[in-house]
Structure 1
Amino acid sequence: MTTRLADPVADRVTRADWTTLTRELDEHGHALTGQLLTPAECRDIAALYDRPDRFRTTVDMARHRFGSGQYRYFTPDLPDVVRELREAFYPRLLPVARDWADRLGSPAPWPDSLEEWLRLCHEAGQNKSAQILLRYGPGDWNALHRDVFGDMVFPLQVVIGLDAPGTDFTGGEFLMTEQRPRAQSRGSSTTLPQGHGLVFTTRDRPVATRRGWSNGPMRHGVSIVRSGRRHTLGLVFHDAA
């Protein structure tokens, strides 16, 4: 996909090939968006990591046995580009979320606007920002997990690479595993180009079986960073308890 990166961030998200993205999400539970941010925009976001005032908390992954490395949760006062990306993605991901819920016979509590959905999260006691900036150095990695912060869950999220693989760092592939019905788990790895996004399932996706649709549980993580430094931006569409 060729993206005109002089345009507003929301327009870049809108121009993505959502037909292909939706098909890949259905088939694999994850899909690359193409380029969303310029290298300069990526560097500006990554540089925020050294401004503790922009974050509500820092998590040391080794301390909690989540892997190795650090991540920080932004305060609710999000940087403009982070807020714009989140607001642009929500209406594009909403039809997928509703379709998946329909196939699985599950509730689809997500209203048309992100603002209204976040209000419902806050009323349920989930009022902490869940937008994440992650930093990995040599030897760091992220254990396979799901980003579920309470009962109010949006089934899709986005990670955006902020550094150039092969130049700024080596290793650090984005990993996903899928637990298949009555079969062994299947894994995949994705090299995330600088400025590109990866849409992926928060916890599971609908899988067709002989008896109809069933949940296919999925987890995500990051392989060992071999050298350099790797930053990523995580966009989550529900707030945390």
Structure 2
Amino acid sequence: MKAAADRTARSASARGGFTDADYGTGSAGSIQARLAALDWKAIEESLWRFGYAKAGPVLTPAECAELIATYADAGRFRSRVNMARFKFGVGDYQYFAAPLPPLVQALRTHAYPPLAAIANQWEAALGTALLHPPDLAALQALCRRRGQTKPTRRGVDYTGGDFLLVEQRPRAQSRGEAIATEQGEIVIFTTRYRPAEGARGFYRATVRHGVSRVLSGSRYTLGVIFHDAK
């Protein structure tokens, strides 16, 4: 699972939201408190039913602006991808270098445990032997043993640019979702598959994601991936 990536420009439900006055600059403790305040029961139910859950706003406008401002600083990133080259769309995205910005690290650390618990329920429903570690430190230790040491990728006024999910089901028509988000919101979603219940129990439903064409303005997205890469 991760939280949304933009396919057409530079490259996330709790009640209400947070303002800059509520939490200031976004310390690790305040991010932890905001994530803990989310309706995780509703998030879990939505993930089981649809393969995604919308929650937020979690980040304040000032925090969003701070993250966007880092995008022009090439020294903060380890690689850049031109999306047109791979026929992903129009735009680009970059992968943060270590160390991650404190706000991103806090999101990664404190969102992982409840999502790992849900992911383990999914694996059990599908009958797999895979067990996700209970916290991010344990997951990163596993990644290091496998030679995966590079961290996640990063991420406004605009029109268009809805977040898209397409679920492919065996012997059935694919199902699409277009999800409109507000600044600072998060979308939690599976990047590969989810357990879907059929007449004979659970089966793997493949879920693909993207973003509709941005018609005007600029769209920035922060993508938080929990595992490390080689």
**Which interval holds the TM-score relative to the shorter structure?**
0.7 to 0.9
- Equivalent residue in structure 2 for 1:128, among 150, 155, 178: 150
SS at match of 1:177: strand
**Equivalent residue number for residue 59 of structure 2:** 37
Distance 1:112 1:216 in 2: 24
Match 2:210 to one of 204, 215, 221: 221
Letter in 1 for 2:209: H
2:183 is aligned with 1:183: no
2:101 is aligned with 1:112: no
Matches within 5 A, 1:157-172: 163=156, 168-172=157-161
Match of 1:196 in 2: 185
Which of 89, 108, 115 is 1:86 aligned to? 108
The reply to whether residue 174 of structure 1 matches residue 163 of structure 2 is: yes
- Output one character per residue of 1:2-26: Cα deviation in whole Å (capped at 9) or x when no partner: 3455241111011001111110110
Matched positions, count: 208
CA displacement at 1:65 relative to structure 2: 1.7
The residue aligned with 1:205 is: 194
Percent identity between matched residues is 43
Q: Which amino acid aligns with 2:183?
A: Q
In structure 2, give the amino acid aligned to 1:229: S
Structure with more relative contact order (C-alpha pairs < 8 Å, separation 6 or more): 2
Task: Give the match for residue 88 of structure 2.
Answer: 66
Q: Secondary structure at the match of 1:91?
A: helix
How well do the aligned residues superpose, as a CA RMSD in angstroms?
1.1
Q: TM-score, normalised by structure 2?
A: 0.87
Deviation of residue 34 (structure 1)?
1.6
Counterpart CA distance in 1 for 2:132 and 2:50 is 23
Distance in 1 (alpha carbons) for counterparts of 2:89 and 2:148? 25
Q: How does 1:143-162 map to 2 (within 5 A)?
A: none
Letter in 2 for 1:2: G
Supply the distance in 2 between the matched residues of 1:121 and 1:111 (Cα, whole angstroms).
11
Q: Does 1:2 align with 2:24?
A: no
Runs of 4+ with deviation above 3 angstroms:
none
Deviation sequence 1:183-207 (CA, Å, 0-9, x none): 0111000011100000001201001
Q: What do residues 89-147 of structure 1 show as CA deviations (whole Å, max 9, x unaligned)?
A: 001211110100000011233212201101111211222212222xxxxxxxxxxxxxx
Kept after mapping to 2: 8 A contact 1:3/1:12: no
Cα distance in 2 for partners of 1:2, 1:187 equals: 27
Whole-Å separation in 1 of the counterparts to 2:197 and 2:52: 17
Aligned to 1:238: 227
Counterpart position of 1:103: 125
SS class of match (1:175): strand
Alpha-carbon distance in 1 for matches of 2:59, 2:149: 28
Q: Which amino acid letter does the alignment assign opposite residue 140 of structure 2? A: L
Q: Is the 8 A contact 2:18 2:59 kept in 1?
A: no
SS at 1:67's partner residue? coil
Secondary structure at the counterpart of residue 66 of structure 1: coil
